Copies of this chain bind each other. A is one copy, B any other.
Amino acid sequence: MSKNIPDKVSNRLTLYHSILAEYIEKGHEYISSPQIAQRLSIDDSQVRKDFKLLNNAGKCRVGYIVKELKDSIEKTLGFAKAKDAFIVGAGHLGLALAKYDNFNSYGLNILALFDNDPHKIDIQVNNKQIFHISKLPNLAQRLNVDIAILTVPRQYAQEVADYLIDSNIKYIWNFTPAVLDVPPHIKVWNENLIASFLQFACKEIA
């Protein structure tokens, strides 16, 4: 993914991509910018402007060629490079993410889940096994995984993050509301649902 694509544009590109995937499923060959714009309640000049950032957006006289446009978005956003990750915390959120099949098509492979609850160990979720957390250091090393998706309860977040870091995890996608304290070489990406809701509330809710 090109580093100079702003977050809002890459956000829209993934939404366009979902619409294109739907069009392909339905057997449509062409799509126009107003058709896309209408689905997202945005202006079609915005859509056209975003497509100018793509190499070879597949524009022709009758609109965009769905397949070419989709490929171009994938190339631009860098879906091709697959990345392996573990989910740490097999509660409702961890299980929901394990079942979220869409990740796979965007290059995120969830290999396994981890929890400390003996009742959950060895259960299969969407073809991924839940292991005891004590198996994580060894599996991370053997499978060469350095990305963890953290979905434990807030009060355990820091303790588990410390354990992950000791296990050579370098990237933490943090779904807990906790603000993690980590050394400078560890990268944390906070999935801030509160901020997202506040943006929704402020921009859209009367």
User: 10 closest A-B pairs (Cβ-Cβ)?
Assistant: A92-B96, A1-B202, A93-B96, A189-B200, A187-B204, A11-B195, A92-B95, A14-B195, A92-B92, A102-B177
- 23 residue pairs bridging A and B, Cβ less than 8 Å apart: A7-B8, A10-B199, A11-B195, A11-B199, A14-B194, A15-B192, A15-B195, A18-B177, A22-B179, A77-B202, A78-B201, A81-B201, A83-B205, A102-B154, A103-B194, A106-B194, A171-B204, A173-B197, A187-B204, A187-B205, A189-B196, A189-B204, A191-B193
A110-136 to B contact mask, C-beta < 8 Å, 1/0: 000000000000000000000000000
B192 touches A147 (CB 8 A): no
A90-107 to B contact mask, C-beta < 8 Å, 1/0: 011101110110110011
| Extra contacts besides A83-B201, A102-B177 (4): CB < 8 Å | A15-B190, A15-B192, A78-B202, A79-B198
Residues of chain B contacted by A192 (CB below 8 angstroms) = 11, 14-15
Chain A residues packing against B (C-beta within 8 Å):
1, 3, 5, 7-8, 10-11, 13-15, 18-19, 22, 39-41, 77-79, 81, 83, 91-93, 95-97, 99-100, 102-103, 106-108, 147, 154, 171, 173, 177-179, 181-182, 184, 187-205
A41 touches B184 (CB 8 A): yes
A108 touches B15 (CB 8 A): no
Interface centre among A102, A154, A194, A205 (most CB of B within 10 A): A194
B198 touches A106 (CB 8 A): yes
A195 touches B92 (CB 8 A): no
Q: Measured between alpha carbons, how far is A204 from B96 in the docked complex, in Å?
A: 24
Say how far A167's CB is from chain B's closest CB, in angstroms.
17
Say how far A120's CB is from chain B's closest CB, in angstroms.
13
Say how far A55's CB is from chain B's closest CB, in angstroms.
16
A200 touches B179 (CB 8 A): no
Say how far A28's CB is from chain B's closest CB, in angstroms.
14
Residues of chain B contacted by A79 (CB below 8 angstroms) = 198
